């Protein structure tokens, strides 16, 4: 598990820029906590770097199974990779809804698969520009507060 906080809390600064060159956000006193689960296959290094540049602490887990044993933290956002085993992802999302009730869920579409709408808050294609994922993460962590 990797945990990173990009800057000391409370120091204002502009972070990553979106495709239009607009700032995505600025640091806050208490950065949001994001859990990135099983997304290494879908994300390029640039996606992860963009995600780590927003005002958040990012924890990563290599699989959904690791999430069940992960010590409890109050996550604002959990990012899951949607793949052909949609039942496994649905169970993981259901677990997130119960364990971290206020957490938003962002699905990365690795493959076309079906999952009930109430089990996630937003769905994006990770092959898009890396800033797209950051924009969704900022939008969802802002809603979670």
Query: What string of DSSP letters covers 29-77?
Result: SSPEEEEEES-TTT--HHHHHHHHHSSEEEEEESSHHHHHHSPP---SE
Would you place residue 12 in the very low, low, confident or very high pLDDT band (cuts 50, 70, 90)? very low
Give residue 28's pLDDT.
42
Would you place residue 103 in the very low, low, confident or very high pLDDT band (cuts 50, 70, 90)? very high
Q: What would the pLDDT profile of 32-56 be if each residue is shown by its tens digit?
A: 898 988 766 667 677 777 777 887 8
| Residue 120 scores a pLDDT above 60 | yes
* Domain extent listing, the chain: 29-144
Give residue 21's pLDDT.
58
Please give the CATH topology (third level) of the domain spanning 29-144. Rossmann fold (3.40.50)
Phi and psi at 104, nearest 5°, equal -90, 155
- Percent of the chain topping pLDDT 90: 17
């Amino acid at each position: 598990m990797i945990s990173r906080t990009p800057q000391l809390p409370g120091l204002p600064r502009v972070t990553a820029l979106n495709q239009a060159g607009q700032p995505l956000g600025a640091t806050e006193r208490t950065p949001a906590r994001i859990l990135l689960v099983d997304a290494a296959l879908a994300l390029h290094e640039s996606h992860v770097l963009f995600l780590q540049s927003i005002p958040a602490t990012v924890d990563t887990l290599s699989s959904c199974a690791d999430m069940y044993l992960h010590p409890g933290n109050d996550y604002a956002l959990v990012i899951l990779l949607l793949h052909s085993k949609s039942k496994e992802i649905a169970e993981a999302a259901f677990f997130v809804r119960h364990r971290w009730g206020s957490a938003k869920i962002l699905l990365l579409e690795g493959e076309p698969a079906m999952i009930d709408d109430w089990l996630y808050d937003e769905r994006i294609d990770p092959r898009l520009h890396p800033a797209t994922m950051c924009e969704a993460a900022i939008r969802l962590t802002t809603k979670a507060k």
